[in-house]
Amino acid sequence: MRGPDACLALEDGTVFKGTGFGAVGECDGEVVFTTAMSGYQEILTDPSFCGQIVTMTYPLIGNYGVVDADLESDRIWARALVVRELSRVPSNFRSEGRLDDWLERRGIIGIEGIDTRALTRRLRVEGAMRGVVSSTGEDPDTLVSKARAAPSMVGRDLVLEVTRKRAEVWTEGFLPFGAPMECELSPFEGDRLPIVAIDYGVKWNILRNLVNAGFDVTVLPGTATAEEVLSHGAAGVFLSNGPGDPAAVTYGIECVKGLLGEVPLFGICLGHQMMALAMGAETFKLKFGHRGGNQPVKDLSTDRVEVTAQNHGFAVDPAVFRRDDLELTHVNLNDGTVEGLRHREIPAFSVQYHPEASPGPHDATYLFKRFREMILLSEMA
């Protein structure tokens, strides 16, 4: 059964017409694209996509259905989903339902039948833009005006929208489906280390990876102060991924400043950016960001190239590495942007990407083990 007519209007006046699926309605957001070929459920429930209209560059989406085990949080955070073709006949033994029905139950708008290749090329040339998706029959010119009035991601703090409200002890680990028993993510055997994970928009599989790496994990809200974090007596602190402009999360930056030198730190994605800001760096908005499961990154300490999962629209200004106390550890091989850093004098390191790879390759899962080794070395010092 064909859905209602729908369209995607961009702030530059471009309008893409298609067919609606999922919920009927209208929403605005920053229009971005991801090159991931699968993992649409993980992407939609990733808090880092809060405030964004997500375009899948892979043409056929929904073909393996949906399953509750693949959620990365307890709700969908993306504002809308844009695809070339929606599969309404899922074929997978794990499937528990159809993608369009799942979106409809959760009030999320989808649009299919547009030229996602043309849209992606436009976003690459012009940059990520504000947009509106509507399946209500609204006039396209009106939708363009609404897109231009939508809030910008620059200067926008979205952590307050996605972070948990109270502390929680997380105990669930996992062995990924199809992963060999000897992989880095196999269940840990040995003495466990207590850590605090600060939730700026953390994904469930990141927490599962920390458990599998041998940590007892207490998760605190992103608004936690350094004093509150240190009161837990943790051996280390993990700074999570999250959405929005890192420079706008001033309370998080102040917290990290108070933790530097007091406890070993490992940050990813937004946590990486806030660690850099706490160390005196600056951040800037990328033209169209890095989103997908195929971003090549070089670990400068080993000369090893990793294929990584990423989702971010901001990056750290490399000018900070003129200082002797900071080291650039990872670089993006597509555009040379900063993908990792470490402090030479205190136990603290971070990466721009998502080492848990949900979805994506497992090349970077060694970083959880590196975090544990850093904590043990700092305890011996």
Catalytic residues: 269, 354, 356
H helix and E strand count, the chain = 10, 19
d(CA 6, CA 220): 40
What's the gap between Cα 42 and its chain centre? Answer: 10
**Kind and range of the H or E element at 342?**
strand 338-343
Question: What are 104's two structure tokens?
Answer: 């409809």
Question: What are 197's two structure tokens?
Answer: 């994970």
DSSP 267: E
Question: What are 19's two structure tokens?
Answer: 């067919």
Helix locations, 263-360, DSSP H: 270-278
d(CA 72, CA 64): 17
d(CA 368, CA 58): 30
Cβ atoms 199, 250 nearer than 8 A: no
Cβ atoms 232, 194 nearer than 8 A: yes
